Every structure is written in structure tokens, then in C-alpha cells.
Structure 1
Amino acid sequence: MKNLPAPKRMAGADKAPASTPRRQHSFSLAERVARLAWMECADGATRRDLAASAARKAAADKADKAD
């Protein structure tokens, strides 16, 4: 079995290897709205959780200072 020569690249050709073609996502308007609503809900829950943990920490710090 012979070793074949490497294929030559054309001048100015992109050095990056060819990637797989991107999949086209075609979501309906209802699906897009549902996804955005879910993300907003998750974001709100995260903000509420962060606010609650900050309040607990502040209360614990205040209790430590009172002692």
C-alpha cells in the first residue's frame, strides 16, 4: 500500500478544518415564547434565591454582632 501525498491547499484557503454543518433550528412562535418564559422564570427564581441567601447572611452577621 502506497502512502498518498497530502492534498494541496489553495492559496488563501481557511486553515481551520471543515466543521460539520450547523443544524437549522426552526421553532414556532409559541415554542420561542415558551422558551423565553421558562428562562425568565428560572432567572427570577435565581434572583429570589440570591436575595434570600443574602438576607440570611445579613441576619446571621447582625446576630453575631449582637453577641
Structure 2
Amino acid sequence: MLETFNVLRIDEPDFGCEGRPDGMAVKDNVLLKSNYTGEEMTVREKDARLYELDINEGDQVFLIDGEMRKIR
């Protein structure tokens, strides 16, 4: 059985007035809460991947080999 998580918060990095360095893949901090244990954990995920999978705050996800997947 796969453990499922609620996405509590997605924090995007703030690069300030300098902006994002060229060629750097932006990674967000994603705060997850286990639906099984209630424990919270933070994982880092590429911002583009979150958009690709349409993962937003309030969604339910699971992790397979460290990769996040949205529960449809």
C-alpha cells in the first residue's frame, strides 16, 4: 500500500533582485503531511515538474522512488 500525503504548502525560492541564475533549475520546497502517520516532511521538487503534474497546495500525492505523483 502506498502512503499518501496532503500538500500543505509550496514555497518557491526568492532570488531577490538578481533573479534566477542562468541555466539553474528552480526547485520548490513542498511541505507534505502523511495521511497515515500525520507527520510532516519537506521534499524538494522541480517547479516545472509541479506545473507539469498540476500539483498544488491542497492536493493529495504519493511518492514512488522519491518522485511525486498526484492522486487523481
Q: Normalized against structure 1, the TM-score is what?
A: 0.18
Point out the structure with the larger strand share.
2
Q: Normalized against structure 2, the TM-score is what?
A: 0.17
**Bigger Rg, which one:** 1
Point out the structure with the larger helix share.
1
Which of structures 1 and 2 has the larger relative contact order (alpha carbons within 8 angstroms, sep 6+)? 2
